[in-house]
A and B are shown apart, each in its own frame.
Chain A
């Protein structure tokens, strides 16, 4: 009561019987757009609207080969191959398959061995049971993982190696290199 802010006073509810007053146009202009969707970081499928989506009522048994990013929210059994693309297992997604992709984001469940050329991102409450082969891995607290992690160092391309060799050593050898604090593995982000 004593610390009642101006804002609270402005939004004091009106009595039930009172007719609804039309909102002044100024208020409508100031109102921010609201969304009931979760934050963007938790829903990777919205990051790329052009990725293919297998919805939560979809069940596939067999081989999936995709030449674009794919989000799985349904159930898959078999193999999934997305060379050079990103696979997202969404919250409802249940995958029992061998997976090959450039990048993997797991929010749901996956049973099977995973071969990823760039990066695996295992989010909170996600479950991955199987062996992982990847260049980099990020695992959030609360994620469950059981299996082997094999960090594979990507071979640098010939052009990159030549450029590196031609580059003069500007940094002294004693200078500390920044450690990848939250990511295990090596290699550049290809995104």
Chain B
């Protein structure tokens, strides 16, 4: 099959995006998501970080389900509107690249919906909670949601292409809900927001879209879902509904039905559930976003501290000296400041020295209660008090969680062991 000439790819993609944006469903979903985002962002105790994470959470689950259906509808667009024969009789009508472009345009429209929802959450924070404008929690939330939404869309797109029925999309949607409702270990295994799962999610998405594009041209000759296929799809759908109903009925304190779904969802990223440390993407002093991937293949000494917790700044000189001694041998030192205001960490920058990445995670230090620290990263690393220090090996496995009272010599021994490994 000949590919479209390069001059035709950009205008075709632009038309596909235009078609996706012209659909009334796009605006209906965007409006509903924006309203939900405002509601979630203005709940009690919602900081910008919490607002962003709550928005992210419903984007992944709620918008994920909608994405499955929208993608199913996009894959069956020609069949639904009756334009199938017109399109397929054209030279490029069934070209795999055109099918991939259709999927990418849909994904882009879903990301636009996520952006609208996050903008609504951010605006409502500023207007109702009077918080200063923060960009990084929302960028972080968007980055976490893009791939899961894309994968949900790829599932719907592929199943709809294979089975020729909206029921197939319904199956994917049901299982999309079943998984996070499952017991924590299942939810964790399928938690696509975890940065360590991203490669798998990206590969799976690419595979599903490639499969759909390969089957698209063939499927016209086998139009309509056969009754046997419909029966299979219905059976799988019913099993999914049954399993999800059972999960809801018996979940109790499970992930989504816990007292605070955000904290529960964040806790699912706890370091205890996976040998590797949760990834992150945080702003540094200059506002540049730094991710764990920037330190790939290097051992990492990661410290959490807070300007509001007076004795927690003691980790900074310790980090500085480790960076000075082991930095040339590959050690990366990261200090994550947990505070409401990034400006409060400025006076401390000199204490750590130039080799330490000073990052900021928006959150508060309560001093009392189960979770004394409420920043997303603190929840992800299961930190109950500041300071906290983690040593990660080259494979990002947590090999040591340092005690609060630090002995410089003990720390040096631990770091040397890992650096020389």
* A, B assembled together: no
Q: What residues make up the interface of B, taking CB atoms closer than 8 Å to A? A: none
Q: What residues make up the interface of A, taking CB atoms closer than 8 Å to B? A: none
